Amino acid sequence: MKKVITYGTFDLFHEGHYKLLERAKALGDYLIVGVTTEHFDEARGKINVVDPIMERIEHVKKTGFADEIIVEDHEGQKIEDVQKYGVDIFVEGSDWEGHFDYMRAFCEVVYLERTPNISSTLKRKSRFRLVRIGIVGTGRIAPRFMSEAKYVSGVLIPCCYNPEKASGELFSKLHDVRAYSQSFEEFLDQVDAIYVASPHETHYGYAKQAILKKKHVLCEKPMTFTYKAAKELYDLAAENKVVLMEGIKAAYCLGFQQMINIAKSGRIGEIRDVEACFSRLVREDSRELNDGTYGGAFLEFGGYPLLPIFKLFGTEYDSISIDSILDKKGIDLYTKIQLRYPGGMATAKTGIGVKSEGQLVIAGTKGYILAPSPWWLTKHFDVRYEDPDIVEHYEPAFQGDGLRYEISEFINQINGTRGRTYKLTAEESIGMAKVVERFMKQRSEAKSGKHKGKAGSGKG
Ligand code: C2G
């Protein structure tokens, strides 16, 4: 009996898939089809898969060509499978020509001509309207968004907005998008969604205007400076049935949720302490070091260390204390926030004028998780125990600078293809705004001399 094997995602099952399976089956007597898991697809950079695995398996089954369906979930599995199932022929479409030649050491390899003019990407485009995202603010982050958005299918970036004409026009030239500098309303009319990457103090205003015009909003952190403003934006987004997401990149990176879930699974016992730090020394002439009101370490980076704390302990702390080292302009060069919860404690540290180890430690009653810098991208982390010889090491998938995962989540939320949002909830984002509000109040009191340098403490 001649055994044939082939693999695929088979997302939005189409004629190309059907014809490939039909011809693969005709090459032998018994066809095994490997269907990829979401996790494996994410690891190999396919971040826009729409159909869940059970549905994709069902579609393959319905063709009647597969004698056996298996699940593909890791790199290197193809070699294992060919040996395990005694496979004679390995088949892939011609888009993979040459890529799987290493399999010839184990069996025959056949690349079948790909069916022209049909693909999951094309189907995705016809099923979901392209999401037109307008960029608000054309400073340091916007170019990164442009280059990472290329990896997310279904995104179109037709225009940008910047009240400073020259900056907008330069960006427009470099990235081939239309620039708007006069009318924000007119800019909004050209898009379905906006990415707000303008200075902190403008986030709330742009986000609110867009939501009221029923546009989806992905807003850089901090989205607002007060609890009330954050709550208002999420309420308005719900009322207007649009997606509102705060751009705390860590929340959307593939490994971050895995690390949090391992911590929550009880593997390290009860969680008692979370210590997270993010520091980046910035240039003397940078906005962070010169804007006395909206500059400083905490407003820039505070969302990162607060994220794992809120994920693990929630947003209802018993008490909070905020302490900063301020420069002469009243800008926080270093801020340390301590939170007390009923069963544990947490520290969030941010620095722009103090450099520290950017690590995350989650301490439990049975062990701890150590995620070294850059833990906010979660490229790797360890689970460790009392016995130093036992170390469980994780290296989750990660590509580019991580922003593609955030953009992909935004698109999937807009298209309704990824279930409820849990990566960064409205409650967590509003909780962060509450801390920002306390920080701003205490820092302004410190500046006016009420607390000398110290930003104060109080009940949560
Ligand atoms: N295919 C085809 N014609 C098309 C589209 C796809 O013949 N118009 C083939 C692909 O070449 C592949 C199979 O259908 O052999 C499944 O395609 P995808 O679902 O896109 O999966 P893919 O990413 O190619 O999976 O481990 C995964 C596999 O190695 C490849």
Site to substitute for ligand 1 among 9, 33, 111, 125, most atoms within 8 A of C-beta: 9
Contact 253, 376 (CB under 8 A): yes
Shortest-distance Cα residue to atom 27 of ligand 1: 8
Q: Is the dihedral of CA 284, 288, 293, 299 positive or negative?
A: negative
Contact 3, 85 (CB under 8 A): yes
Backbone angles phi, psi at 4, to 5 degrees: -120, 145
User: Is-same-fold flag (3-112; 131-247)?
Assistant: yes
Q: Which atom of ligand 1 is nearest to the CA of 7?
A: 28
Q: Which atom of ligand 1 is nearest to the CA of 6?
A: 15
Q: Using a 6 Å cutoff on CB, does residue 120 contact ligand 1?
A: yes
Q: Using a 6 Å cutoff on CB, does residue 13 contact ligand 1?
A: no
Q: Which atom of ligand 1 is nearest to the CA of 118?
A: 8
CA 181 and chain centroid, separation: 29
Residue owning tokens 């403490």? 457
On whether the 131-247 domain is CATH 3.40.50.720, my answer is: yes
Enter the CATH code of domain 251-401+414-447: 3.30.360.10
On whether the 3-112 domain is CATH 3.40.50.2000, my answer is: no
Residue owning tokens 């016809």? 126
| pLDDT for the residue 290 | 92
What is residue 402's three-state secondary structure? coil
For 369, counting Cβ atoms within 10 Å of its Cβ (0-12 exposed, 13-18 middle, 19+ buried), the class is buried
Q: Using a 6 Å cutoff on CB, does residue 25 contact ligand 1?
A: no
| pLDDT for the residue 458 | 54
Q: Which atom of ligand 1 is nearest to the CA of 91?
A: 15
Q: Which atom of ligand 1 is nearest to the CA of 96?
A: 11
Contact 18, 64 (CB under 8 A): no
Shortest-distance Cα residue to atom 9 of ligand 1: 93
Q: Which atom of ligand 1 is nearest to the CA of 78?
A: 26
Shortest-distance Cα residue to atom 21 of ligand 1: 8
Helical residues (DSSP H) of 64-202, grouped into ranges? 77-84, 120-127, 142-149, 165-175, 184-189
Tokens of 8: 């695929």
| pLDDT for the residue 386 | 98
Distance CA 45, CA 332 (A): 38
In the reported structure, the alpha carbon of residue 443 is separated from the centroid of ligand 1 by a whole-number distance in angstroms of 56
Measuring CA to CA, which residue among 256, 258, 356 is closest to residue 301? 356
Q: Using a 6 Å cutoff on CB, does residue 63 contact ligand 1?
A: no
Shortest-distance Cα residue to atom 25 of ligand 1: 8
Q: Using a 6 Å cutoff on CB, does residue 20 contact ligand 1?
A: yes
Shortest-distance Cα residue to atom 11 of ligand 1: 93
Distance CA 460, CA 303 (A): 17
Shortest-distance Cα residue to atom 13 of ligand 1: 8
- Count CA atoms within 13 Å of residue 69 on its CB side: 21
Q: Using a 6 Å cutoff on CB, does residue 332 contact ligand 1?
A: no
| pLDDT for the residue 99 | 97
| pLDDT for the residue 449 | 74
Q: Using a 6 Å cutoff on CB, does residue 208 contact ligand 1?
A: no
- Count CA atoms within 13 Å of residue 119 on its CB side: 9
Whole-prediction pTM: 0.90
In the reported structure, the alpha carbon of residue 25 is separated from the centroid of ligand 1 by a whole-number distance in angstroms of 15
H or E element, residue 36: strand 30-36
Domain ranges (residues) in the chain = 3-112, 131-247, 251-401+414-447
| pLDDT for the residue 385 | 98
Distance CA 364, CA 269 (A): 5
Each residue's pLDDT, cut to its tens digit, for the chain (460 residues) gives 999 999 999 999 999 999 999 999 999 999 999 999 998 998 898 988 999 999 999 999 999 999 999 999 999 999 999 999 999 999 999 999 999 999 999 999 999 999 999 999 888 888 888 899 999 999 989 999 999 999 998 899 999 999 999 999 999 999 999 999 999 999 999 999 999 999 999 999 999 999 999 999 999 999 999 999 999 999 999 999 999 999 999 999 999 999 999 999 999 999 999 999 999 999 999 989 999 899 999 999 999 999 999 999 999 999 999 999 999 889 999 999 999 999 999 999 999 999 999 999 999 999 999 999 999 999 999 999 999 999 999 999 899 999 999 999 999 999 988 778 899 999 999 999 999 999 999 988 887 776 554 544 555 4
Shortest-distance Cα residue to atom 14 of ligand 1: 17
| pLDDT for the residue 420 | 81
In the reported structure, the alpha carbon of residue 198 is separated from the centroid of ligand 1 by a whole-number distance in angstroms of 40
